[in-house]
Amino acid sequence: MRWVVSRERLRRHANDTFLVVVVAMQAGALAPWFASGRGVGDGLVLQAAFAAAYLVAALLLFGRLVRRRRVRFSPWLWWPLAFFALAAASLLWSDIPSLTLRRVIALAGTLVFAIWIAETMDPRRALRNVAFGLLAIAVASFVLLAIAPQMAIHASGPHAGNWRGALLHKNLLGREMALATTLTFALAVVAPRRQRLAWLAVAAATALLVIGARSATGLVLLAVGVATVTLLAIPAVGQRERMGRRVLVVAALVSATAVVGALGLVLLDALGRDLTFTGRDRIWEVTVALLRDRAWTGAGFGAFWDGPGGAQVSATLGYYVGHAHNGLLQAATSLGIPGVLLVLTLHVGAIVRASRAAAFRAARPLALGFLLHFAVLTASDAVMSGPNSLSLTIALALVLMRPGEAADGAAASERRCDAVRPAHVACDGATA
């Protein structure tokens, strides 16, 4: 029996480590060394790394299904499969079929990886590992800032002096560390009291990286993330609170949101940033004009920006544009209106499930903080539909997790605890 328990524990730790590594890859940890310069998923070495990771996930998933001797996928699996089928069908009208084929294969790997997460982990464990993957980037960024600042700080150009840490660009550092702050702050909210101070210190450190990056998007995401988790934490005062108290809480949350928003605007102004997000509105205008004749099909999955459409956008604006700088518009360039609807269904479905399903109760601040982070980010970055996307991976995993079943014994124990404890008390009896 001891050997069985040890083997299960070893498998659990191996799965956690694997997820942390792949999350760091999806967030761009390898890009400064192996990317081709056009994105965190470009370059032969990076493509090979992702292919190897997804192959390992497929083998782990197959081994798990063999051990359990049954297959019980979530009914929600039809939506990711529909998205994948549409992406594969776009080979028929793609501007660059060979590129679309590569992106479709990467999307298949992303879907397999998300299914493996959903089959292996509960929401809290999965999102905690996402936080650890981002913290690995934070640690690497602080190390580079200390020993090799020429690598961690933009040396010239319009971003001179801004931190980029262990990532390609200061905007990447800003958005990923804003997510790290959101998740670590949420972990502080749901952790036992003796761990809370440590998580808050980690959240402060990642917030420092966001400020050092001087990214307008990152600063907005930081304010939204902290406000979201704070709002989610305030109502956790017991299962039988009165309606009057809820009304007061809602009023307090609205006031807090207004204050955070005002502080965010002041901070942006102090850092010399504007709310047009450096002219992205012009990119959107030109892109929408080019899509009018292909609104229902797009240019093929992942093919628009490397094809004639992207070249025309760059020529019109007078500088290179590599993506739509908007998640829904990016989906429209690839798969048209049907693609936009499917992407919205997947992400909104993840938010609804995280809000309502009992299995998400212990991880609700984590899950909703993660999803709302990307809901805000999609206004200025193309993060919702691409292969190797952290947003798409975790949204798919949250959608596919089955509320009535636990991934392993530890998750089952946590769910049993959640079923009987008050909402504000952790499993060890500490106030959460």
- Give the rounded percent of residues in the chain with a pLDDT score beyond 90: 41
Q: Where are the alpha helices (DSSP H) in 123-271?
A: 123-147, 149-152, 170-190, 193-213, 216-233, 243-270
What pLDDT is attached to residue 202? 96
Q: Is residue 181 classed as helix, strand or coil in its secondary structure?
A: helix
pLDDT tens profile 3-59: 455 788 888 999 999 999 999 999 989 888 776 555 555 678 888 999 999 999 999
Q: Is residue 431 classed as helix, strand or coil in its secondary structure?
A: strand
| C-alpha to C-alpha distance for 406 and 252, rounded to whole angstroms | 36
**Could you tell me which of 321, 326, 41, 49 has the C-alpha nearest to residue 168?**
41
| C-alpha to C-alpha distance for 42 and 340, rounded to whole angstroms | 24
186 in Cβ contact with 137 (< 8 Å): no
Residues of the chain under the 70 pLDDT cut: 1-5, 35-42, 69-73, 234-279, 359, 403-432
What pLDDT is attached to residue 319? 87
Query: What is the CA 228 to chain-centroid distance, rounded?
Result: 15
49 token code pair:
């790394």
pTM for this one? 0.82
pLDDT tens profile 326-382: 888 999 999 999 999 998 888 888 888 887 777 677 788 888 888 888 888 887 777
| C-alpha to C-alpha distance for 131 and 119, rounded to whole angstroms | 19
102 in Cβ contact with 48 (< 8 Å): no
| C-alpha to C-alpha distance for 305 and 303, rounded to whole angstroms | 6
| Domain boundary assignment for the chain | 2-420
196 in Cβ contact with 398 (< 8 Å): no
| C-alpha to C-alpha distance for 138 and 184, rounded to whole angstroms | 12
| C-alpha to C-alpha distance for 110 and 394, rounded to whole angstroms | 10
What is the b/e burial string over 311-344, where b = at least 16 CB atoms within 10 angstroms of the residue's CB? eebbebeeeebebbbbbbbbbbbbbbebbbbbbe
Q: What's the alpha-carbon Rg for the chain, to the nearest Å?
A: 22
Cα angle: 54, vertex 40, 161; to 5 degrees:
150
**Could you tell me which of 328, 369, 330, 327 has the C-alpha nearest to residue 350?**
369
What pLDDT is attached to residue 7? 80
Query: Tokens 């290179």 map to which residue?
Result: 320
115 token code pair:
């299914």
What pLDDT is attached to residue 234? 66
| C-alpha to C-alpha distance for 343 and 200, rounded to whole angstroms | 33
